[in-house]
Structure 1
């Protein structure tokens, strides 16, 4: 039987609870706390200002200087990272191995937009301008500065780039095919083999509610680039050091084989290009 709570101001959410007429001030929340919850005529304030469930799962939203960003809850799980040897277009650096993501995390449903970058950093370096287009011409170092600036304002979070394992796990969204849409794609599904970016949410989302994980812009990950250490099967964070940082997802100018779920590439962390952006994740401190 569910617990019932009526007409209170609260800073926490408990699972398996029905809330009626409550006001929540949520600066940080774990998605697992929403298991079995129901809300009737409740309001949300604090850092997280709204939430919902749909066929893709749980989402929460925050607003930063009038720019709204939706985050998707990515539940813990185990998947096969990399590609099978039979996958068309695979590369030798995609050695398939099992990885467990032991803790859930919030991941932005889209690549970071130019309007959010402008709100946080105060400028817009992008080549292909448009407030709802992904920010590009940002280095890994620039993205690190963005997450640190956001952390200064919202101290209850740890805003960071996803690890390469987290990125591929979220991109696949439970699928095992070359793309999260199947073993082949069309230009109605993915933005590739073109000459510029498109607005976020222009194309279908994956099973977990994430848009443009394939194509549009590459996305920086937190890891140094190197061969997979297949002996590390839980929460892999990549090599301890290196020269290049991982980028994932492919981009607008590449062929379909270079936007696959398992496709990996790397760039020097201080490089800036019109085909590399990022999406960030949030974890509780």
Structure 2
């Protein structure tokens, strides 16, 4: 292949299957962030968008010394199907890309590179994907503006400009969001390349990673990573993501209707790839010795309640990849070494493409959580949402939803595992590769009595409509969803269906093998819905629980404690105007409380004799709740909202986190009634 020489003229090269290429000469350009604030029509005056994304910086000089050819157009269906004829069977999937001259989609990175190898072997010419640096160089074609057309993009490149929920029937506009992907219909840039802004994103050869400030020559990205770079933006997103500088990425095995590719010709640059040298704090110096159950700082037979600790440690004013605006939907796991690992999403908008997952570690024996750093985040994809679980041999599982772009409607689901206390993780595996409903993990994972793993995911994108149950009988390699394709149930007393009632449901297995779930929404007789399955999630019966409904900004949790009882944490009512709930205190009298409470069942959910407020039962002090808002913790009031996640450590302490705070207490505290107004706080509080 070394005999192929790029032309020095502007002559177009046409290959054996009709693909057209133009030469790109060597040169130097500035890669990365824009030089002036973006106009309001692109930034919407949002601080995190005003100067482009954090990963577009620092801007730096790049020199391309090796001329190369680049395809005038994105690869089309007819071209790709010379290599993979079976792809014709998925033309028109979800309505997209039916015709020969439309950009090929539903092609992952491996398939795109295989197409290039096939062409190379067929023609003895070095076909390949372009590097990210080559792609931006060719896109800009000498420009330094937001687009090669200037600082605005002509209307002809606007295709379904929005934060799309497609194909969610409840929130999208349905088939009206399907647009043609015909190549070559937009304005070519100064060097003759079409569709460099939009139509479909394009795979690049690089592993994604941060820019470095110094000038570079023929950069090729990183030696390894979790995501491959995609460039150019697509239909069904906002114009901000179509800019020359904008960077996106995808799991290499991911394939959907927003990503295609373009082919380059030329020997791959000989530059050494970069190596990421700085680990995030949660992955640094992680001890590997397992801890035993004993602790010296409390007596497990006496009530113990630790003063809540703020675990969301993000500097004010952070605008990427950590965001101080909104931190929510956590997951927590107790590691075999005694550390606690918490993850949650961080964003400006819950539906935004900036939403990624950050993490923090509370090391065994320490009192404070470490500052948060990025844990997982496919760039420019809404990574909604997360679950963590540690199995009986110490393997930690991480589950996460993965959108095609914005919103939590079109989600695939990825799984990673760690066998070293969360210090390193396996490459992501797309355990549910289709981007659709029923793939948003909820923090309720456990090993069932038949040795299967049970995971729940929201079945819908709205506040009512139920939860899906996913089951793996081979330790996470494959999963089944018994309710998939079934009709939406009627969530009423005495009715049966194939889904759990309520979204964000939490599930526990009873000793007689039945499953019990509580959820949010789908209210039954004015109470939080309870669902029972006698056949491992194939079917469910519905009834009201005894507990108040939860609403926006709230999520309950269930956990089978190591000592045997079932633990529930939930809320007395709406977080903005909490309704009171009666509890019985140590004097035997009933009194009203508001906010987050704990309940304990000793008879498999039939009754809940121990119910108390999750509070230090003091005279009243202000504490932060979600997004820095304040609430008063006292004898009568507790945190009013938050999405809850819970685990139990080797010392049997129960660790409950909200969207901001970490609470720790033991079974003895749960079974001790809250004090009366005249009593001194009976538990040992730290």
The match for 1:122 is 85
- Give the counterpart of 1:178 among 114, 135, 146: 146
Structure-2-length-normalised TM-score? 0.33
Distance 2:178 2:133 in 1: 29
Distance 1:191 1:165 in 2: 26
The match for 1:72 is 22
Distance 2:239 2:149 in 1: 12
TM-aligned CA deviation for residue 232 of structure 1: 5.3
Task: Summarize deviations over 1:246-275 as a string: whole Å, max 9, x none.
Answer: 000000011111100001111100010111
Distance 1:281 1:123 in 2: 24
Task: Summarize deviations over 1:121-168 as a string: whole Å, max 9, x none.
Answer: 22324432110000000000111111111112112x111000000000
TM-aligned CA deviation for residue 284 of structure 1: 5.3
TM-aligned CA deviation for residue 192 of structure 1: 5.4
Task: Report whether the alignment pairs 1:102 with 2:74.
Answer: no
Distance 1:240 1:83 in 2: 23
TM-aligned CA deviation for residue 30 of structure 1: 2.1
The match for 2:396 is none
The match for 2:671 is none
Distance 1:267 1:165 in 2: 17
8 Å Cα contact 1:30-1:284 kept in structure 2 = no
8 Å Cα contact 2:159-2:179 kept in structure 1 = no
Q: CA RMSD in A?
A: 1.7
Task: Report whether the alignment pairs 1:92 with 2:54.
Answer: yes
8 Å Cα contact 2:22-2:192 kept in structure 1 = yes
Structure with bigger RCO (C-alpha 8 Å, 6+ apart): 1
Bigger radius of gyration: 2
TM-aligned CA deviation for residue 183 of structure 1: 0.2
Structure-1-length-normalised TM-score? 0.77
* Count of residues in correspondence between the two structures: 232
Distance 2:153 2:6 in 1: 34
The match for 1:225 is 208
Residues 1-285 of structure 1 correspond to what in structure 2 (within 5 A)?
28-32=4-8, 34=9, 57-64=10-17, 68-88=18-38, 89=49, 90-95=52-57, 96-124=59-87, 125-126=90-91, 127=93, 128=96, 129-155=98-124, 157-191=125-159, 193=161, 195-231=178-214, 233-283=216-266
Runs of 4+ in 1 over 3 A off after TM superposition: 189-192
Distance 2:158 2:192 in 1: 15
8 Å Cα contact 2:34-2:145 kept in structure 1 = no
TM-aligned CA deviation for residue 203 of structure 1: 1.2
8 Å Cα contact 2:203-2:259 kept in structure 1 = yes
Distance 1:192 1:231 in 2: 38
Which ranges in structure 2 are unaligned for 5 or more consecutive residues? Answer: 39-48, 162-176, 269-686
TM-aligned CA deviation for residue 85 of structure 1: 4.9
Partner-residue secondary structure (3-state), 2:21: strand
Which ranges in structure 1 are unaligned for 5 or more consecutive residues? Answer: 1-26, 35-56
Distance 2:198 2:242 in 1: 6
Distance 1:186 1:195 in 2: 20
Distance 2:149 2:85 in 1: 36
